[in-house]
Each structure stands twice: as C-alpha cells, then as structure tokens.
Amino acid sequence: MSTEAQQAADPGRQVVLVVPGMGSDHCAGIIRRTLERQSGIASIDTNIGNHHVTVTLADEGPDQGALQTAVEGAGYDVAAVETLGADDEALDDTALEQAYLDAARRRLWIAGVPTTLIMLLMMPHMFWQPIPGYLLIVAVLAFPVVFLAGGAATHRASWRAMRNREANMDVLISMGSLPPYLIGLVGFIYPMTSFIEMAATIMTFHLLGRYLETRAKGQASQAIRRLLTLGAKTARVERDGVEQEVAINELQPGDVMVVRPGEKIPTDGEVIEGESHLDESIATGESVPVYKASGDNVIGATMNQEGRLRVRATKVGSETFLAQVIRLVEQAQGSRVPIQEFADRMTGRFVPLVLVIAAASLIVWLLFGDGLRPILDWGAGFLPWVNPEAATPVLAILAAVAVLVIACPCALGLATPTALMVGSGVGASRGILIRSGEAIQTAKDLKVMVLDKTGTITRGEPELTEVEAADGVSEETLLHLAASVENASEHPIARAIVDGARERGVEPVAVEGFRSLAAHGVEARVDGRPVMIGNAALLREAGVKGLDTLEQALDGLEARGRTAVLVAADGEAQGVIAVADTVKDESAEAIRGMHALGLRVVMVTGDNERAARAVAEDVGIDEVQAGVLPEGKVDAIRALQARFGDHVAMVGDGINDAPALKQANVGIAIGAGADVAVEAADITLVRGELSGVVEAICLSRATFRKIVENLVWASGYNIAAIPIAAFGLLHPMIGVIAMTASSLSVIGNSILLRRVRLQD
C-alpha cells in the first residue's frame, strides 16, 4: 500500500485543501456536496476565510488525489493539498493567498486595459462618428478579456460544474459573457447591434469584483494573519552552559530560555529566575502590564518590558497558547450558524432558478416584446440606459443577460462567514475566544446566566480579611502569635493567615512544640508562651477564658460567610482572625452588566448556604443554589432549562464545571481555569475576569445582528433586482456593477463590527 493510501486509511487523519476560488458559502456548499459523494469521509469543514476545505477521513477513506480531483470536478482549482495527522500543525497558506491575490490583480489589469480601450472607442462610435472596422477592433480587444484573462478560468470552472450537475456563480458569468460575444460576431455577416462591449465589460467587472472581494475578505480575516505574525521567530536557550540562538520550531519542553528586556517570550513557560512586567495585551486585550516572578507562568509572544528572565519552556509548537487561539479562531470562522441553513437552502436552489428565469425572460420578450414595450416607455423617463426603440431580439438578450449577471448569490453567500470572520477576530483581540457560530446565535437569546462561585465570582483562594483583637491585645500582637504558629502548617487557611500578616508588616518567628489537633486547630509555643488556635469548641474544651467577649464578633464574621478561628495564649482569648475566598474586584460590576442585558443570574456552588448567600448579597446574585455536588450541577442546569427553555448559559473554571458547561446551551470558561473546562466551553475568556462575560454576550449579539442585516440586504437585493432585470429595466453592465457593489457592501457592513462597543 502506498504512503498516501496508508494515510487515507488511518481514521481521524485530515486532508486540507486550499481552494482560492471558494469565495462564499454558496461555493462552499457545492464543494461539500461534491465531496459527500465520496465514501469513507467522517466530516467536511469549509472555511472561506482562509479558503480551507478540511476533510476528516474515516476507515478506508479516499486519498488526497481523489479529493482534489473531486473538488476540481466541481469547478474549483486546488492551490495546495496536504494530509495532516492529529499532532501536525495546520497548513500555512499565507504565501498561496498572496499569490492568488497577485494573480487576481494581474488578470484584472489584462482585462481592464482592453475594456477601457473598448469604452473609449464605443463613445465616439455611438454618439459622434462611426469608426471604420469598429466591430473587428472591438472583437479583437475583447477576445483576451472574455476568453483568456479571467474567462479561461471562469469558463473552465463553469464547464466542470455543469458536467458535475452543479450550478455555481461561474455558470452565471459564463452565460452572461459568452453568448453576447458570440452573438456580436454575427454582425460580420448580418447588420445588428453589437453585444461584444457588454461581454467584455461583464467579465471585467466580474474580475474587479473578485479582486475587491479577495482584498476585503483579507481585511475581514486579518485576525488570523495578525496572530500568525505575533510569535517570536527565534529563541535564546541555555545548552551545555552556553547561550545559543535557535529557531522557534527547534524548542523542546524543558529548554531554559533567556529573555532580555524588549524581547518576546518565545513560547509558553514558567519563570525560574528574574522578575519583570509583561505586556500580555495580545492574549488578554488588557493593556496594563502584568508582574511576573519566579514560579509564574508566561505566555509565548507576550513582551518582556524591563527585567531579564530565565524561563523554562513548558509548551511548544501546536500546544502553545497562541497556537490554540489560532485554532479556535479558525474553528469559529469556519463554523456554521443555524440561520445559515436558510441561506444554504436559498443558494442551493438559486442558480438553477435564475437560469430558468433568464430563459423565460428571453422567450417572453421574443414572443411578447411589443406588449412589454409600455414598461420600457415608462422606464425611459428616468432610466437613461433604457431604449424602447431597440429591436425585440436585442431587448430579449439584454433582459436575459441582465437576469444572469444581477442574480449572482455572492452577497448571500458572504453574509454569514464574513461577519463570523470579523466577530471572532474582534473577540480574539479582546481575550474572548468564540468556538462556534452556533454559540453566537444561541447567546443572543440567553435568559439565565449560571455562575460557579469559587474561581469565577471569587478569587479561588483564601485571604486574610478581618482581625478582631480582644480588649487589651493589639492587632499586631494577635497577628504575631497566629502567624508564627500557622507558619509551621501547610493548610490553605494557615498560609492565608501568614501571607496576610506579612502584608501588614508582621513577620512570623520560629516556634517550639508545634502540634496539629486533629482538624480542630493547632498549638505551639511562641516566645515561650503557649498558643492555641482553633474553633470555639476546642478552646472551651481547653478551658480558655474570655471567649464570651468574642462571641458576638465570631457570630458576625461567620454570618458573612467567613472562616473564623480563635487565638488564645496563656489560657486567655486573644482575638478572632477571619479568612475568606474574597470576591473579585470586577464581579459586582459584571453582574450589574448581566442584569442590564436582561439576564437572571444564578449561583450554583458546592459551598455551604451561609457562605454562598454572603457572596450573593455582596455582588447582587438573583438566585442561589448551594451545597451542589459536581454531578448535581448538571441537574441544576437541566432544571433551569426546564424553567426557562434552551436559554441557559454557564460560567465556570474548574474540572468539576466541565459537565455543566457541556449541558448548558452556551458554556463559558474562565481561561485561567482548568484546561478541561476550556475544552468543554463554547466561549473562553482568556483574561479570567467575569466582566468578559458581558463583553462576550455583547459581541455575540452584535455579530448575529450583522449576520441578519447581511442576509436581509443580500436576499432583498436579489428579490428586488431580478424582476427589474427581467422586465428590461436594468442594463447588464449596470447589473454587474450592482452585483459587485452588493457583495462589497455585505463585506463592508461586516467589517464595521470592528467598531462595536463592548460593555466594560
């Protein structure tokens, strides 16, 4: 078996084809339907943003040659094809895309120069003085335009498509340019109106439209191209005690990299020496530099601002954060929105219907031209290109050709993918990674936002919050005693007390006789004094005096959801210290933003009722479900879906949140959390801030609004323009200009998404 066949037979492998001519979802639909006729294919994904067709193979799937032949048989040239394994990096076709744009520009020049000469000759010939040999001159000038510059590829694609029983946009252009040119040649043997100028103009404007669309789509999808250029190209690593510069693709996990001020972090890693501030705006959208020191994780492609760092590489190649972002953005741009099914049904039937309408227009004008002339008489009053005096066969040809060229469903096919390209790019620049188009459509109708507490609303780690000293005891003394004892413990609450004391300028000292008291507390000698720390029951059992004076403070702290411990020394109560998982600074504002969007906010947490309600009151949560086990979160989501329909989103960050994120109609992962939660989510917030939820919902709504605007404009344009063309009121050359303008307006409307204001 050949290597190619072995690859094809390996299930899960992917074949990526670069199809530059796949310019809209209509084209993508034709390619998908063509490939679906092949056996052994698990899935087909098309992305008009990068012109990729990704075919996932099943058992005994076709080889890449067969797939390329099938796509070319549908009328589309394949610029590159590659078979990828599960761990292979995606195909980088930036150079191919640029070559395609350059070729489109070259074809436009080859067509544009002769067509301009034709127009310059046509004006004096028609309105001033007939030019001897005009028809021959025009036929010679138009020949390379219609048959060579763009015509060769267009007609070849048209022939392939019809032979494959498909009707793409090239078919409409071929039928709009070939018949007029050939009919115009009849003028050499029988005097009649020349249509050759119209054929050349139609093809030239078609090529202009393709070139402008390619440029505009390049602008719409520039997020991916920008991301691809962000990474460092080389890294300075320590090997055998010597610093040496290596290509980025030669890095291995475990390599120690040296990053100087002003340099990019070559790849994801952990700081092992040094401290600095990093500009992480490319990953998070946050312009404020982030402090990094030994033990902190860093992201590849972020900028080191001032200090020298030694960083151990932890992820390289396709596993890096930047590579994953690129993958997610490409996945979003290539995904399909449910509303697109409507557009697909329309475009799938559109071209055959247009051919029928064009043929009907030709026949009706030939048979009933005199009866239709009053329409032209009316139109001539305000449309300068309408000529009621033209011969009936001329009017019939003009009407049929106008229908063909005005009805190209380019704009309809571009409506959804261009909005997704721009929207996902805007999201990536703000640290919002949208995995699928379906999430965009679903997010607009959300009614309920479910939030996990720990790590989502709160910071996810305990902090020292209150210190209540007993009468006659200073706060400093209380912290000195507590921190010194707790410094010998590794318990999270103990670490929070020690860290909090140090932040307040109190350093712990060495203790003697440290002993843990079976989950109730700890004791040790500090500066010769016996100190005990624990709950009220432990200290009462030990006969500690003065606890009654602290009872009110203890009850108040616990009522607010704090974890409070009592401190005693020499058998006397010294005070109360409280620890809590504190609320993130932006949580309350973010929840207010959710309320402003009309969302009901529900907290579902495994914490106890008192702690959960204390946090809920602080930030304005509408409903609390506490004491919920990980498996119970899925049931909680289902219960909310039963109450509010399929309009429930879930935000979480831990491994235990992954099932609930999957169950929710839209799963939103805090990017700073567990990888499994990120993988389970539809939307990932890289910054790890709850405020990103509001931005994500606003972006989703704005993107879907653009999709609807584009679809309404594109379909309305065709519905209105086809009857006008069929009645002879639209000249084909005006039609092809309007067709191009329609496609560009859809792309331009999508690009306006870059200006969308996301609620902060």
Rounded to whole angstroms, the Cα distance separating 384 from 269 reads 68
Residue 243: which residues within 8 A CB-CB, separation 6 or more? Answer: 236, 237, 258
Rounded to whole angstroms, the Cα distance separating 474 from 477 reads 5
- Closest Cα partner for 426 from 703, 690, 188, 70? 703
137 is written with which tokens? 């001159």
61 is written with which tokens? 């799937």
DSSP 718-754: HHHHHHHHHTT-S-HHHHHHHHHHHHHHHHHHHHGGG
| Residues belonging to the chain | 760
469 CB-side CA count, 13 A: 12
Residue 85: which residues within 8 A CB-CB, separation 6 or more? Answer: 10, 13
Angle at 328 (CA atoms; ends 326, 332), nearest 5 degrees: 115
Residue 335: which residues within 8 A CB-CB, separation 6 or more? Answer: 420, 435, 436, 437, 438
Task: Kindly tell me the sign of the dihedral angle through the C-alpha atoms of 292, 293, 296, 297.
Answer: positive
Tokens 């000249």, residue?
731
List 452, 581, 653, 682, catalytic entry: 452
Q: In what order do the strands lie in the sheet with 242-247?
A: 242-247, 234-239, 256-259, 309-313, 269-273, 297-298
Is there a contact between 549 and 470 (Cβ–Cβ < 8 Å)?
Answer: yes
- For residue 630, CA distances in Å to 316, 358, 641, 656, 670 come to 33, 62, 18, 5, 17
Q: In what order do the strands lie in the sheet with 521-526?
A: 458-469, 572-583, 563-569, 529-534, 521-526, 512-516
Instruction: Give me the residues paired with residue 269 across strands.
Output: 298, 313
Three-state secondary structure string covering 134-160:
HHHHHHHHHHHHHHHHCHHHHHHHHHH
**One-letter identity of residue 201:** T
Q: In what order do the strands lie in the sheet with 683-685?
A: 432-434, 683-685, 666-670, 648-652, 448-451, 600-604, 623-625
**One-letter identity of residue 643:** R
Rounded to whole angstroms, the Cα distance separating 627 from 604 reads 8
Helices (H) and strands (E) in the chain, counts: 26, 26
How does DSSP classify residue 587? H
Rounded to whole angstroms, the Cα distance separating 686 from 698 reads 16
The helix (H) or strand (E) run that includes residue 451 is: strand 448-451
77 carries an active-site annotation: no
**Active-site residue list:** 452
